[in-house]
Amino acid sequence: MSVVVDTSALFALLDRRDAHHASAVAFWTDADDEDLVTHAYVVVEAIALVRSRLGIAAVAALVNDLLPAIGVEMADRPLHEASLADLRPIGGGTSLVDRVTLAFAARHGIGRAFAYDAGLAVAGLAGHDGILRALLELSRVRGFCRAHGTPSWAARTPGHVRMRDL
């Protein structure tokens, strides 16, 4: 079974301070029966993010240690153009890279993601270990808080939820 890998998961693997680090490491070390795949836009986004936030040593770990274990495919012109077409009318929300991830997953019949991005859950990708469902619920709570003037600190992260219980 294939699982599409998102930038958020790669970052969580590399940043020990990330709220999802432990979950990411647990999945990564237990994913032997999973076929991990992604596309080149995720690689570009991950390298830029990791370099700016964690430094060049973390980029080396990403390129030398993590990426060799993931099948990386190029995003072709039809995938790129379809993703841009999907992005134009929404005027925000998911990024172009997320749109490409969704189109890539649909093209390959992939229904699961190694990710910590609620936007992917909104679009229907199932997360590993229920994490995307928890993030989706958190995004709904935060959206409710913004819409109803509740302080943002009132929207707690799902860290207190045991992901295996979701």
The helix/strand/coil state of 132 is helix
Instruction: Tell me the residue type at 97.
Output: V
pLDDT tens-digit series, residues 122-149: 676 766 555 444 444 444 434 433 443 3
Q: Are 94 and 86 in contact (CB under 8 A)?
A: no
Q: How far are the Cα atoms of 20, 42, 56, 81 from residue 68, in angstroms, in the given order? A: 22, 14, 18, 28
94 Cα distance to chain centroid = 11
Q: Token pair for residue 91? A: 């005027």
pLDDT at 101: 94
Structural domain 2-131, CATH architecture: 3-Layer(aba) Sandwich (3.40)
Instruction: Delimit the domains of the chain by residue range.
Output: 2-131
pLDDT at 51 over 60: yes
Question: Do the Cβ atoms of 86 and 99 come closer than 8 Å?
Answer: yes
Burial class of 135 by CB neighbour count within 10 A (0 to 12, 13 to 18, 19+): buried
Report d(CA 43, CA 40) in Å as an integer. Answer: 5
Q: What is the pLDDT confidence band of residue 119, given thresholds at 50, 70 and 90? A: confident
CA distances from 78 to 60, 61, 107, 124, 130 (A): 31, 32, 11, 21, 31
Q: Bigger pLDDT: 72 or 113?
A: 72
* Average pLDDT score over residue span 38-65: 98
